[in-house]
Amino acid sequence: GESVGLHLPTLSVQEGDNSIINCAYSNSASDYFIWYKQESGKGPQFIIDIRSNMDKRQGQRVTVLLNKTVKHLSLQIAATQPGDSAVYFCAENPWGGKLIFGQGTELSVKP
């Protein structure tokens, strides 16, 4: 079946460094991908999205890269800050609004 998974369950970075969180997806029909950030005790918050007709999309301090050839998605956070500490989920939207979430990566930022 379809699945979205993350390569690393935890990531620890130094404040100011860049962070890269990776995600693999298996459904080649997916045409929309989202990254969510979830802080402890809260619901997921939208970070950035990308459609399958794009390879890269940039936001404020975040960049999402999509490699459809190898079904790989990544989230890059520039100049990581302590406030970026959270669990990050990728999700794919293959059809009918059924978002399929990956397991999540916990990002820990050391001051």
Q: Taking CB under 8 A as the criterion, which residues in 9-28 touch another protein?
A: 9
| Minimum CB distance to another protein, residue 17 (Å) | 25
48 phi-psi bin (left φ>0, alpha ψ -120 to 50, beta other): beta
The residue count for binding another protein (CB under 8 A) is 27
Using CB under 8 A, which of the segments 13-21, 55-63, 76-84, 89-97 binds another protein?
A: 89-97
**Residue for token pair 């080649």:** 28
Q: Classify residue 108 by burial, with Cβ atoms within 10 Å: 0-12, 13-18, 19+.
A: middle
Q: Nearest to residue 38, comparing CAs of 93, 91, 98?
A: 91
Pick 12 or 14: Cβ nearer another protein: 12
Residue numbers of the site for another protein (CB under 8 A)?
Answer: 4, 9, 31-32, 34, 36, 41-46, 49, 51, 89, 91, 93, 95-104
